[in-house]
Amino acid sequence: MESPSPRKFVDGSPVYMSRRFGLPKDFGRVILSDFGSTVRGDLKRNHDAQPDVYRSPEVMIKAAWSYPIDIWNVGAMIWDVFEGGHLFHGQDPTDKGYTTRAHLAEVIGLLGPPPLDLLERGVRSREFFSEDGRWIADVPIPQGNSLENVERVLSGRNKAMFLDFVRGMLAWRPEDRKTARELLEDPWLNTSEISD
């Protein structure tokens, strides 16, 4: 409040200049930051949002989105923090850098194909999927992946509970994702000690 970021107004909305953050001397608790693109979630939107590796399926296909995109973000970020790396990268095999088609291929490789009713909602769906939901983009779907295969920190019951927790956030359909309240009540967060 005492030293606000420089800003300008574009079409009546403030645009703030980002500040550089250095690495801390000591790492502590995870802190969420950079809410510069925050919008109300009670209005449906379909414009681009979210950093590339955290983009939810509905944002990628340009379907109407709301609060559940934040739940997808939390799931992808929890994976990053807990597993020590991104779950999705979206790096195109033709060295184009990040592309939506490469990201969608990775999501299909981990979660299986998207439901047809979700694809029917997306403005961009026909770029990547046929009318009957087949993958038509010119990027191979990674084979042999699953959340079980890529999770390498846990084992036994603890692993199963963690994966159920993550699946509650990383669901294709926004309406199939858990709410923030449901996540706070999840057994994985509320069990103090789990044996294998």
Helices (H) and strands (E) in the chain, counts: 9, 2
Q: Report the share of the chain in percent with pLDDT over 70.
A: 80
Mean model confidence pLDDT for the chain:
85
At residue 63, the pLDDT reads 93
Report, as an integer, the average pLDDT of 171-194.
Answer: 89
Question: Does the pLDDT at position 4 exceed 90?
Answer: no
pLDDT at 39 over 70: no
Q: Pick the most confident of 44-48, 70-74, 127-131.
A: 127-131
pLDDT attached to residue 92: 92
Amino acid at 23: L
pLDDT confidence of 12, banded at 50, 70, 90? confident
Q: In the prediction, which pLDDT does 85 show?
A: 83
Q: Tens digits of per-residue pLDDT, 132-149?
A: 999 999 999 999 888 999
pLDDT at 179 over 70: yes
94-121 pLDDT, tens digit each: 888 899 999 999 999 999 999 999 999 9
Percent of the chain with pLDDT over 90: 53
pLDDT for residue 127 is more than 80: yes
Residue 88 has pLDDT above 80, yes or no: yes
> Which helix (H) or strand (E) element contains residue 181?
helix 180-184
114/105 Cα distance (integer angstroms): 11
Q: State pLDDT tens for residues 48-70.
A: 667 788 899 999 999 998 889 98
Three-state DSSP at 102 gives helix
CA 81 distance to own-chain centroid: 13
Listed as own residue / partner, the contacts of 173-179 with beta carbons closer than 8 Å and 24 or more positions apart are: 173/115, 173/117, 173/118, 174/56, 174/58, 174/65, 174/66, 174/68, 174/69, 174/71, 174/72, 175/68, 177/68, 177/71, 177/72, 178/71, 179/71
Return all residues near 3 (Cβ < 8 A) that are at least 6 apart.
none
With a cut of 60, say whether residue 153 has pLDDT above it.
yes
Global model pTM greater than 0.85: no
CA distance linking residue 181 with residue 55, whole number of Å: 22
What structural domains does the chain harbor? Answer: 46-190 (1.10.510.10)
Q: How far apart are CA 89 and CA 185, in angstroms?
A: 30
Among the listed residues 97, 102, 116, 95, the one whose alpha carbon sits nearest the alpha carbon of residue 172: 116
